[in-house]
Amino acid sequence: MRKLASLVAISAMLAVTLSACGSDNNDSSGNTSAGNSDAKANTSTNTSTNTSNSSSGNNAAADNKADSGSNAAAADPGEVVTIRTSITEGELSKDQIAEFEAAHPNIKVEIDNVDATKLAAELATGDAPDIIRISGAFEVSNYVIKGLALDLTPYIDSSTVINKDDLVPIADVFRFDGKTIGQGPIYGLPKDWSNDFALFYNKKVFDAAGVEVPDASKPLTWPEVMDLAKKLTKKEGGKVTQYGLAATEWGLTEPNFNQMLQYLLSSGASISSADNATMDFNQPAVKDYINMWTDAVKSNVGPNSVNNDQTNGGTLFLDDKAGLLIDGYWYSGVIRGNEKAKAHLDDFGMLPTPIAPGGTRVAPTGGATGGIIYSGSKHPKEAWTFFEWFFGGKPADDRAKTGWGLPIFKSKMGLLPQETNFDKQTYGVLQDELNYSSQYLQVNPYLGGGGWAIFSKYVTPIFFGKSTVDDAVAGMTKDANVAVTEAKSAIGQ
């Protein structure tokens, strides 16, 4: 009973996190996979939370290094087991499911279409999908501290499909030792990922403004990006006819929490204490980021809350109405597939991820959407069979060939599109970006994806002159620490 009550509390907290995350809205990566029509994350001793939840199955894998899952619940010979996954229909086709089931007649695969509320309810009742789709960058640590993710280290160590030495460093975003992302047991894998804070340019807009496209061999600083955006923004009769910058493909050109974390990573600043127990936004780098973006909003370099232009950034960019778009390699798939863009594909290209002034070069993922196996899965062995096939088998090859994201295997990088001039330009910039992609956004596991809503709550009023940067950082610090304290309390820490 106590365990059920704890799970209800944990899941309610998770619902808040997921709702704040807004599903893909908080995921800086499109991370749409092959053909996705929805185009738009130490040792096996783990954390104390995991230890306390060992009965949920999260220690099963650690007990099965020699025979993955053999000590966990396994189907009787001849029994057909149904595995549920929240991987979306746009990422897992009916043909792929049929192909898997034909090769594994004892396993049926069912897609569980969940939103944040439904998933939280399923977690509360112990009926969550066997394989849960999550953001590697923002959600893995949160699931781990709640004991909801199965340790996959022994499964991967014994896999003949997934070679750990072949994984790119960013795959470690699914590792967590209780304090540091990228270290400790492996709890999952990305299906694909991108350098999500890079820039795409539309040369037609540059030409219309009489501005040269920057050198793609070296990154701009973020202030240089804003200055460039101002030069690209054109007005006629007081009305904007083309914007310089689109911050995302789906939203307004305003600052957000995820992009701030990339800025802080480049500047070497952190808003979380070493043990993640407290947060402090009152730092020069945070204020510099907010001031820089406030100036950009007031300069109308893109659609925003003040000018009340609700046109999304992706539409403006593809319609030759915005010169720059902040997005990762995955967006090259959108450009290749867009009928208007295809007519002048050579006008598009990618620029390296910008850096903070005086900062180091980093090109982290802002999403790395992938999957974990639910620690409460009744059939972890069969879930792993599907997981191994989907994340490391033929579907991984199919995803890489489309260019809708980067593979997690070094050996599959060569499968990315390299036929057109556009393909070659983006692939060339990517090769350099890969040298700076091994660092991770410093996400507080107790805040999870909740930072986005807190950030927007306090920063948006600044654009209207109704608050100050000092008041905003004070408010964000207060709310974030309340959220962290409540999250720790909910799991008995």
Same domain, 351 and 375: no
Given a contact cutoff of 8 angstroms between Cβ atoms, the answer to whether 31 and 194 are in contact is yes
Interhelix angle for 380-392 vs 94-103, to 10°?
120
Same domain, 202 and 163: no
Q: What is the pLDDT of residues 212-238, one digit of tens each?
A: 999 999 999 999 999 999 999 999 988
Residue 421 lies in a domain: yes
Structure tokens at 282: 């009152």
Residue 154 lies in a domain: yes
What pLDDT is recorded for position 200?
A: 98
Cα(305)–Cα(290) distance, integer angstroms: 15
Same domain, 274 and 250: yes
Residue 46 lies in a domain: no
Dihedral over Cα of 117, 8, 18, 132: its sign = negative
CA end-to-end span of the chain, whole Å? 19
DSSP 8-state class, residue 232: H
CB neighbours of residue 465 within 10 Å: 9
**Is residue 21's pLDDT more than 60?**
no
CB neighbours of residue 141 within 10 Å: 32
Same domain, 169 and 231: no
Given a contact cutoff of 8 angstroms between Cβ atoms, the answer to whether 332 and 418 are in contact is no
Structural domain including 267 reads 198-362+451-490
Cα(454)–Cα(460) distance, integer angstroms: 10
Average pLDDT estimate for 369-373: 97
DSSP 8-state class, residue 259: H
Q: Which residue did the predictor score with more confidence, 38 or 387? A: 387
Residue 239 lies in a domain: yes
Q: What is the pLDDT of residues 393-413, one digit of tens each?
A: 999 999 999 999 999 999 999
Residue 328 lies in a domain: yes
Residue 210 lies in a domain: yes
What pLDDT is recorded for position 78?
A: 75
Same domain, 264 and 222: yes
- Which amino acid is located at 129 in the chain? P
Same domain, 139 and 234: no
Structural domains of the chain, count:
2
| Lowest mean pLDDT segment, chosen from 2-6, 107-111, 375-379, 456-460 | 2-6
Residue 3 lies in a domain: no
Residue 156's SS3 state is helix
Same domain, 125 and 208: no
Starting at the earlier edge strand, list the strands of the sheet with 322-326: 234-236, 239-246, 322-326, 199-202, 348-351
Q: What is the pLDDT of residues 56-67, one digit of tens each?
A: 333 333 333 333
Same domain, 117 and 178: yes
- Residue 286: pLDDT band with limits 50, 70, 90: very high
How many separate helices (H) and strands (E) can be counted in the chain? 18, 12
What pLDDT is recorded for position 74?
A: 60
- Residue 75: pLDDT band with limits 50, 70, 90: low
Length reported for the chain: 493
Given a contact cutoff of 8 angstroms between Cβ atoms, the answer to whether 346 and 47 are in contact is no
Scanning 167-299, the segments in alpha helix (DSSP H) are 203-209, 222-232, 257-267, 284-298
Structure tokens at 228: 């460039």
Same domain, 160 and 214: no
Same domain, 458 and 384: no
Of residues 96, 22, 21, 59, the one with CA closest to residue 391: 96
Please tell me the pTM assigned to this model: 0.84
What pLDDT is recorded for position 283?
A: 96
Give φ, ψ of 133 to 5 degrees: -80, 125
DSSP 8-state class, residue 352: P
Whichever domain contains 472, its CATH number is 3.40.190.10
**Is residue 143's pLDDT more than 70?**
yes
Residue 484 lies in a domain: yes
Average pLDDT estimate for 342-362: 97
Residue 5 makes CB contacts below 8 A (sequence gap 6+) with none
Half-sphere exposure (Cβ direction) of 204: Cα atoms closer than 13 Å: 16
SS (H, E, C) 325-365: EECCCCHHHHHHHCHHHHCCHHHEEEECCCECCCCCCCCCC
Arithmetic mean of pLDDT over the chain:
87
Cα(287)–Cα(158) distance, integer angstroms: 48
Average pLDDT estimate for 147-161: 97
What pLDDT is recorded for position 307?
A: 94
Same domain, 143 and 211: no
Cα(193)–Cα(168) distance, integer angstroms: 11
Q: What is the pLDDT of residues 186-203, one digit of tens each?
A: 999 999 999 999 999 999
CB neighbours of residue 3 within 10 Å: 12
Same domain, 221 and 287: yes
Half-sphere exposure (Cβ direction) of 195: Cα atoms closer than 13 Å: 29
